[in-house]
């Protein structure tokens, strides 16, 4: 898919020239992201950026704000609502601010296999899209962040009780992690934003990390931890979201260009990030103390995740949405 985007760029450049000079009458769409510009996400976004500019003969440009320049994901979603941003690349943190039910894909321990996640997301996607439209948002493309692992500083996390009295955290808008920690007991997580995690890991106010390997590398978190649990605790998803009002206000041909290339960019991200995340995990295993739970230890995690999900059914997630997601995970 990334190759497809690059072919689009090359073909457009042959027709309109490769000028990087902005047209005075260009429509500029402002897009926020936490990703660094040179990260795998940033590289795909830059190809998308060139594709849109060159296929529109410079009439439309995507202006990316990297490294959380527009604030954390909650702030970016808020800025889309008020028109300060036109779109953003967000993880489940941002998606949940728009429609909390989408977080069902990230329930602890539910999806560890990409094929099953794809099946669930494809079936639930029409409903998700419709609910996002009701909230004034349009999803141009879905993507993934990676498969989440527990990492820690100075100690191993083999079983849930190893998290007792440790410096844990949860993100704003996350209704699941506090439930999980409450079931372990003697765990008091603090609420932090994504940009605050690195500071916490550096100062020691955070010494447990639950994140995909690639994200941990790209956001520099991995350099602050030294132990890794090899087991997958769940998946982290994301999407390219835009103001539906802004998109509908564009000329019809520009709407088609944006939605078509956004879909391809999302597909490119899905394929590339999964490969990059696997490679990042191998790198972290090579430099950290890593541990694969044995059957008895893994059974404790399975029970904890199942108990957490049970508390989410009918409270955080409506029963039908919950049951549909679980069905596809089996």
Q: How many residues does the chain have?
A: 330
The residues, ordered by sequence, that sit 6+ positions from 169 with a Cβ below 8 Å of its Cβ are 189, 190, 191, 192, 197, 200, 206, 208
Report how far residue 265's alpha carbon sits from residue 256's, in angstroms, rounded to the nearest whole number: 14
For position 2, what pLDDT does the model report? 45
Report how far residue 113's alpha carbon sits from residue 196's, in angstroms, rounded to the nearest whole number: 30
Given a cut of 70, the residues of the chain with pLDDT beneath it are 1-24
CA-closest candidate to residue 226, choices 153, 313, 322, 130: 153
Domain ranges of the chain: 2-314
Report how far residue 208's alpha carbon sits from residue 40's, in angstroms, rounded to the nearest whole number: 25
The residues, ordered by sequence, that sit 6+ positions from 260 with a Cβ below 8 Å of its Cβ are none
CA-closest candidate to residue 42, choices 288, 159, 214: 214
Q: What is the 3-state secondary structure (H, E, C) of the chain?
A: CHHHHHHHHHHHHHHHCCCCCCCCCCEEEEEEECCCCCCHHHHHHHHHHHHHHHHCCCCEEEEEECCCCCCCHHHHHHHHHHCCCCEEEEEHHHHHHHCHHHHHHHCCCCCCCHHHHHHHHHHHHHHHHHHHHHCCEEEEEEEEEEEEEEEECCCCCCCHHHHCCCCCEECCCCCCHHHHHHHHCCCCCEECCHHHHHHHHHHCCCCEEEEEHHHHHHCCCHHHCCEEECCCCEEEEEEEEEEHHHHHCCCHHHHHHHHHHHHHHHHHHHHHHHHHHHHHHHHHHHHCEEECCCHHHHHHHHHHHHHHHHHHECCCECHHHHHHHHHHHC
For position 23, what pLDDT does the model report? 64
Report how far residue 72's alpha carbon sits from residue 301's, in angstroms, rounded to the nearest whole number: 30
Q: What's the pTM value of the predicted model, to 2 decimals?
A: 0.88
Report how far residue 213's alpha carbon sits from residue 91's, in angstroms, rounded to the nearest whole number: 15
For position 22, what pLDDT does the model report? 53
Q: What is the CATH number of domain 2-314?
A: 3.40.190.170
Beta bridge partners of 237: 144
What would you measure as the largest C-alpha separation in the chain, in angstroms? 65
Beta bridge partners of 62: 29
Report how far residue 168's alpha carbon sits from residue 178's, in angstroms, rounded to the nearest whole number: 10
For position 303, what pLDDT does the model report? 98
Beta bridge partners of 208: 152
For position 330, what pLDDT does the model report? 87
């Amino acid at each position: 898919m990334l190759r497809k985007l690059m072919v689009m760029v090359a073909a457009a450049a042959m027709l309109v020239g490769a000028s990087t000079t902005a047209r005075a009458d260009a429509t500029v769409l402002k897009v926020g992201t936490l990703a660094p510009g040179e990260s795998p996400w940033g590289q795909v976004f830059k190809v998308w950026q060139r594709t849109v500019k060159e296929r529109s003969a410079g009439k439309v440009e995507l202006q990316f704000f990297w490294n959380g320049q527009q604030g954390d994901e909650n702030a970016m979603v808020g800025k889309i609502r008020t028109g300060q941003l036109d779109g953003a690349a967000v993880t489940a943190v941002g998606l949940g601010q728009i429609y909390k039910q989408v977080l069902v894909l990230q329930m602890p321990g539910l999806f560890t296999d990409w094929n099953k996640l794809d099946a669930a997301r494809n079936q639930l996607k029409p409903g998700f899209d419709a609910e996002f439209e009701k909230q004034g948002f349009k999803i141009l493309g879905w993507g993934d962040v990676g498969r989440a692992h527990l990492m820690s500083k100075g100690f191993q996390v083999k079983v849930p009780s190893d998290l007792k009295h440790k410096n844990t955290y949860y993100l704003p808008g996350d209704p699941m992690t506090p439930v999980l920690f409450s079931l372990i007991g003697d765990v008091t997580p603090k609420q932090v934003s994504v940009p605050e995690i690195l500071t916490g890991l550096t100062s020691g106010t955070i010494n447990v990390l639950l994140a995909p390997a690639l994200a941990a590398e790209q956001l520099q978190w991995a350099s602050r931890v030294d132990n890794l649990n090899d087991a997958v605790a769940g998946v982290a998803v994301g999407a390219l979201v835009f103001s539906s009002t802004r998109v509908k206000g564009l000329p019809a041909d520009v709407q088609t260009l944006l939605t078509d290339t956004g879909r391809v960019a999302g597909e490119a991200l899905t394929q590339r990030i999964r490969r990059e995340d696997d490679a990042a995990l191998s790198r972290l295993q090579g430099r950290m103390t890593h541990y694969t739970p044995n059957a008895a230890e893994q059974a404790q995690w399975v029970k904890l995740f199942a108990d957490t999900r049970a508390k989410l059914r009918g409270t955080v997630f409506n029963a039908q949405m919950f049951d549909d997601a679980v069905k596809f995970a089996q």
